[in-house]
Amino acid sequence: MSSLDDLYRRVIMDHYSRPRNRGEFEDDETVTVNMNNPTCGDRIQLQLKIEDDKIADARFQGEGCSISMASASMMTDAIKGLKVEDALKMAGIFSKMMQGEEYDEDEFDLGDIEALQGVSKFPARIKCATLAWKAMQKGVQDEPNSE
């Protein structure tokens, strides 16, 4: 195993064992999306606060494998403060990365999200990594104030 693979594993396990943005909002000024991955048993509830076409805040709850929960933690960190349009672009880049396709590395600083790049080698785990991202896409596209 390369030292880069080891680093990526540690980043994923850090987000899994100490998830960022885990929990739920108390108010009802949120977009809430529930999704699951029946093949792996992953389930997520994603809540988004969208204000002025920006994702002001994001939280998630759920259970699942380390990849799905780490991805949710990384995604909620990355999208906070982004315009909805930019969050959707980032989701597109993430999807390309998961499919092993070329993507513009300069468009967004993916930070910890790059640690999930190795998942593309394991097709059965791609759904785990993309679950939170698909929930975000559904949430912002269904949100009445988003474009």
What pLDDT, on a 0 to 100 scale, did the predictor assign at position 146?
A: 41
What pLDDT, on a 0 to 100 scale, did the predictor assign at position 114?
A: 93
Q: Report CA-CA distances (Å) from 90 to 4, 63, 82, 110.
A: 23, 24, 10, 8
Name the DSSP letter for residue 108.
S
Q: Is pLDDT above 70 for 66?
A: yes
- Per-residue model confidence as pLDDT tens digits over 5-63: 888 899 999 999 999 999 999 887 899 999 999 888 999 999 999 999 999 999 999 99
CATH of range 3-142; options 3.30.530.20, 3.40.30.10, 3.40.50.1100, 3.90.1010.10: 3.90.1010.10
Mean pLDDT of 123-138: 96
Question: Residue 1's pLDDT band (boundaries 50, 70, 90)?
Answer: low
Q: Are 58 and 21 in contact (CB under 8 A)?
A: yes
Domain ranges of the chain: 3-142
- Per-residue model confidence as pLDDT tens digits over 73-129: 999 999 999 999 999 999 999 999 999 998 888 888 899 999 999 999 999 999 999
Residue 102 DSSP SS3:
coil
Higher pLDDT pick, 145 / 112: 112
What pLDDT, on a 0 to 100 scale, did the predictor assign at position 103?
A: 86
What pLDDT, on a 0 to 100 scale, did the predictor assign at position 49?
A: 96
Nearest to 115 by CA among 82, 55, 66: 66
Angle at the Cα of 120 (from 54 to 8), degrees rounded to 5? 75
- Alpha-carbon distance of 118 to 126, in angstroms, equals 10
What pLDDT, on a 0 to 100 scale, did the predictor assign at position 51?
A: 95
